[in-house]
Amino acid sequence: MESESSRSRREQQDNSDNFQVVPSTPSYSDTEEPLLGHDRDQEDPSDSNQELVKGEGDTEELEPVEWSPAMKMIGGIIKKVASPILRIVFAPQAQRTFIKGTAIVIVLLWVLLTSITAYITFYRQYVPKTAHIEPIYFQYHQQQEGPLGVVDLTHGKAYVPLRHEQAYDVSVQLHVPTSDINFDLGNFMIKTWLQTADGTSVVHSSRPAILRYQSKTQRILHVFAKALPLLVGLSEESQVITVPLIKGYMEDKSKSVTQAIVSVSTHQLQLYDANIHVIADFRGLRHYMYHRRFITASGFIIMFILIEIICAAIAWKFFGQNLWNKIHAVFEQMELEEQLRREEEQENPEDGSVAAENRNEEEEDGYDAYHNEQNPLGSSTGVDTTIHHQHQQQRH
């Protein structure tokens, strides 16, 4: 009997192992399954999105930083020292004073820069070029009485080199060797002509020239004294002769000088090189502007500053003050209206709360309108709905 009962128990256990329990599911008709499936599809995204939003919003709270006593002491000292300064700096009256001071400094710097620029422009236009120094290349021809050189003062450009109503001094500088031939030559003549572009001579001058006399003994001693520089090539036996030809030539605007012709009376003169110098002889205001630059510049800059200040004061008196008063009145009216509105809200807090609710409703309507534009089919996601509710909770 015991064997049969134990055998029956084993068979029941084997049968239970061969079968698995399947949970029962409700049966749906064919018409109900698509609808229920559609409802599940609509509910699942919102639930998952809400869970995502909640997951994103959850942040771990950071533990507060514990400062050392030394850092706390240093921070307290800095706070005690900086607090009075910050109160003064960030006070409304100090800020207004700072803004006014900054505006005044900017205006003064602008006036100073414009005055300096005006003086530099005036100086460049009024004071001409000081000197015109050009080399002379003499041409030696046997048919001529002496060598002749033509100097183009314009360098081939279409401009007038000399300023009209300005006096000029013209001279020729000759660099000649101290040879026996030049010493024995004695006096010779230097001639010059100032001509216009069509070859018309405006002024002509002729002056004598001679080497500075040196006896043979003096020349020998001079050579011994400079023996080493002469051997090395740092010095040479020569003289520079400067011959003034024209003094105080006044340029005429109708007859502008463009070239100069220079000639020497003899071919025997030995010559290294030669230059013509046309130097401006400043007179009157130009003399002071060139030779007393700092004093004249300071005087003109101060004068320009005063002129700018006077013009600005006149413009402010007739135009700027009325415009400023109008703008100031508009700002005062706006500030007064804002102050009255705040006083009304303080006296009637219920009206203020109603106005705040109206503003919140307007914001919600604007949000809904924007949401409808973004989703014309009316399909909204759970993320947008959750964010919208969070904004509403923050406003409340």
Q: How far is CA 197 from CA 14, 131, 205, 360, in A?
A: 133, 20, 19, 87
Number of Cβ within a 10 Å radius of residue 290: 15
CA 44 – CA 385 distance, rounded (Å): 14
Q: Where are the alpha helices (DSSP H) in 60-147?
A: 69-89, 92-126
Q: Between the CA of residue 326 and those of 79, 96, 104, 164, what are the distances in Å? A: 44, 20, 22, 53
CA neighbor of 300 nearest in space, from 315, 314, 286, 282: 286
Supply the pLDDT for residue 358: 63
210 or 389, which is more confident: 210
Q: Which residues pair with 149 in a beta bridge?
A: 262
Which of the following CATH numbers is that of domain 128-281: 2.60.40, 1.20.1070, 2.60.120, 3.80.10? 2.60.120
Q: Quote the pTM value.
A: 0.55
Residues 128-152 have a mean pLDDT of 88
Confidence of residue 370 (pLDDT cuts 50, 70, 90): low
Burial category of 301 from C-beta neighbours within 10 Å (exposed 0-12, middle 13-18, buried 19 and up): middle
Q: Give per-residue pLDDT as tens, 270-296.
A: 999 999 999 999 988 999 999 999 999
Domain extents in the chain: 92-125, 128-281
CA atoms within 13 A on the CB side of 318: 5
Q: Mean pLDDT, to the nearest integer, of 325-334?
A: 78
Most confident of 100-109, 192-201, 338-347: 192-201
Q: Which range is least confidently modeled, 110-119, 287-296, 344-353, 363-372?
A: 363-372
pLDDT digits 0-9 by tens, 9-38: 555 555 544 444 444 444 444 444 444 444
Per-residue pLDDT at 387 exceeds 70 = no
Q: Judge whether residue 309 has pLDDT over 50.
A: yes
Give per-residue pLDDT as tens, 198-220.
888 899 999 999 998 888 888 88
- Quote the CA–CA distance of 396 and 394 in Å, as a whole number: 5
Report which DSSP code applies to 255: B
pLDDT tens sequence across 171-196: 999 999 988 898 888 899 999 999 98
Is the predicted pLDDT of residue 262 greater than 60, yes or no? Answer: yes
Q: Per-residue confidence at 386, pLDDT binned at 50, 70, 90?
A: low
Given pLDDT bands bounded at 50, 70 and 90, which one contains residue 112?
very high
Distance CA 203, CA 321 (A): 61
